[in-house]
Structure 1
Amino acid sequence: MASNVPINMEATLPVPEVLADVPPSAGLDWETQVVRRCQSGDRDAFRLLVERYQGRVFSIAHTLIRSRADVEDIAQQVFTRVFFRIRDFDFRAALITWIYKITINECYNHLRKQRSRRLRCVSEMTEAEAHHMDNARSTDPSPQRRAVLAQMVSLLLGKITAEDRLLLM
């Protein structure tokens, strides 16, 4: 039986033990306290930050990058960058906005690297491979190719019964 008790989807997290010695300051929320602790080099506070935002980073990255392995690599790069740049965070924007921007930039960097790898692979093709690729992409066969295809179709149609040929025609 369903309960009519409203569920608070943005439930506030209790202040973890690692933050217990942070003096209660007027207007300082959990995020601000964690960031300040991270900025002072507190690795436990950074672990809390990662735990809180890793799901969002995964979701953001997965919208642009479909490979789970690549998304995991990107998330690791994002939090590595956050770790080394947290001292630069100046609270002008929300922390999630800053992390979002880092995530998007890491995704674009990943896509650029992928594109560069594809271009490098194409440039390293032999002439025969490139010719084969061009032929495979062609949707409008040359007159010679059409003649060969017509001969092949005629030959194959000649090998089946008249009834089967009618079904195909």
Structure 2
Amino acid sequence: MDDVKTLVRRSQAGDTAAFEELVRLYQDKIYALACHLAGNQADAEDLAQEAFVKAYYALKGFRNEADFGTWLHRITVNQWINLKRRERPTLSLDEPVQTGDGEVQRELAAASAEPQEALERKEFQRFVRRALGEISREHRVVLVLREMHDYSYEEIARVLDCSLGTVKSRISRARTALKERVGALAREAGVALPVERERRGGDER
């Protein structure tokens, strides 16, 4: 198999088979990112497809010394942001992610947890998913890239085309916004989050 840079050069010269190979190499990563951004399978599939179409037509302007994967992620994020600017969010973050191995639920349950603890953690995850859909686009993007795709601050700066300081500031504000929204949702539902319950227990002792 040709390396990525060779495939890019061939694609830029009009070789559609080479671009199809690039799609095959990156489609899983782009779809995973699209799932986290869009929140449901149907919109994620549309977003990923639109991102690759956009990449195909913008390929001649791509500088091949840059990282192709980072460039694709930037296009995907920008496509999602532009879409959200044109419509009100309609997120379904409770839906499982569809993968080649079947459905994958978005929450992680501790196998050794007691039933009550497992229930509390599931409730907490539900609040996190809902809160993630309600915070600003700017905050959601950096949290998805950092917490779900394990991007470094430097990589996020390249994807978003902004300074490292801006990325650090956005992530800090995004984490605060998410924490506050999760807490508000829990209070509205009359549910004590695990951390709050532990804190109260410590105060009682």
TM-score, scaled relative to structure 1: 0.50
Structure 1 residue 43 corresponds to structure 2 residue 24: no
Partner of 1:75: 48
CA contact (8 A) 2:8 2:64 kept: no
Aligned counterparts, 1:1-169, within 5 A: 15=1, 30-115=3-88
Paired position in structure 2 for 1:167? none
> Which gives a bigger RCO, structure 1 or 2 (Cα 8 Å, sep 6+)?
2
Q: RMSD between aligned alpha carbons?
A: 1.7
Q: Quote how far apart the aligned CAs of 1:81 are.
A: 0.6
Could you tell me how far apart the structure 1 residues matched to 2:65 and 2:12 are? 15
C-alpha separation in 1, matches of 2:54 and 2:86: 18
| Misfit runs of 4+, over 3 Å | none
| CA distance in structure 1 between the partners assigned to 2:25 and 2:40 by the alignment | 22
Unaligned runs of 5+ in 2: 91-205
Larger radius of gyration, structure 1 or 2?
1
SS of corresponding position for 1:115 = coil
Which consecutive unaligned segments of at least 5 residues does structure 1 have? 1-14, 20-29, 118-169
> What percent of counterpart residues are identical?
34
Tell me the alpha carbon deviations over residues 65-109 of structure 1, each in whole angstroms, 9 at most, x when there is no partner.
112111111111101011111111112420001001000011112
1:116, distance to aligned residue in structure 2 (A): 8.3
Aligned residue identity for 2:52: F
How many Å separate the matches in 2 of 1:97 and 1:87?
Answer: 16
Contact 2:10 2:18 in 1 (8 A): yes
Partner letter of residue 37 of structure 1?
R
